[in-house]
Amino acid sequence: MRIEDHPILGKVERGRKITLKVDGEPVMAFEGETIAAALIASGQRVFRYTEKRVEPRGVFCALGRCTDCVMTVDGQPNVRTCVTPARDGMIIQMQGTPDQRETALDAGEGEG
């Protein structure tokens, strides 16, 4: 959900429209906004799954400190999406996926 008009801040000034590819799907973004902002605007809440317990994580600090929102961006893993500006054509992938959960649990790695 984007906030277009604001009683204090007024109308928003955004960069040009660009397209990101997020897990294969096109996502509209504005140049210069953070990747996380574009994803939240598109309705995405889960940004990654943890490696061991395969639990969902999303934006927590929005400040670049907690690393809960990291994703793989143009092949580079663990990019903090909340402080990384979106650029046209960026390929963004989620780290860890829910279907890994079964495998992890089967292998007894679900605990701890």
Partner 1 sequence: MGKTEIAVVGGGAAGMTAAIESARAGAQVTIIDENEQPGGQLFKQIHKFFGSGVHRAGTRGVQIGRDLLREAEEAGVQTRLNTVVYGIFPDKRLGLICGDHTEELASEIIILATGANENALSFPGWTLPGVMGAGATQTLININRVLPGRRILMVGAGNVGLIVSYQLLQAGADVIAVIEGLSYIGGYGVHASKIRRAGVPILTGFTVLRAEGKESVERAVIAQVDEKWQPISGSEEVLEVETICLAVGLSPLSELAWMAGCRFSFLPALGGWVPAHDENMQCNLPGIYVAGDLAGIEEASTAMEEGRLAGLAAAESLGYLPPEEGRKRKEELRNRLAALRIGSFGEGRATAKKKLMRAMCEK
Summarize as ranges the residues that interact with partner 1 (CB under 8 A): 1-4, 6-9, 12, 14, 33-34, 36-37, 40-41, 45-47, 55-65, 68, 83, 85, 98
Q: Least distance (Å) from partner 1 to the CB of residue 39? A: 9
Q: Least distance (Å) from partner 1 to the CB of residue 68? A: 8
- Hey, CA dihedral for 67, 69, 70, 74, is it positive or negative? negative
For residue 2, how far is the Cα from the chain centroid?
Answer: 16
Closest to partner 1 by CB, 2 or 21? 2
| Of 31, 32, 56, 30, nearest in space to 44 by CA | 56
